[in-house]
Amino acid sequence: QVHLVESGGGSVQAGGSLRLSCAASGYRVRSTCMAWFRQVPGKEREGVARHAAWSGRVYADSVQGRFTISRDNVANTLVLEMNRLQPDDTAMYYCAASVIGNCPGFYAGQYDYWGQGTEVTVSS
Sign of CA dihedral 74, 96, 70, 40: negative
Q: Order of strands across the sheet with 77-82? A: 3-7, 18-25, 77-82, 67-72
Q: What is the DSSP string of 103-124?
A: --TT-GGG--EE---EEEEEE-
Mean pLDDT of 82-108: 93
pLDDT in tens, 17-48: 999 999 998 888 777 899 999 999 999 999 99
Q: Is residue 28 a contact partner of residue 15, using CB atoms and an 8 Å limit?
A: no
Model pLDDT, residue 39: 98
pLDDT band at 92 (very low <50, low <70, confident <90, very high): very high
pLDDT in tens, 66-77: 999 999 888 889
Residue 54: pLDDT over 80:
no
Residue 88: pLDDT over 80:
yes
Residue 63: pLDDT over 90:
yes
Measured distance CA(25)–CA(7) in Å, rounded: 14
For the chain, the helix, strand and coil percentages under 3-state DSSP, each to the nearest 5 = 5, 50, 45
Residue 1: pLDDT over 80:
yes
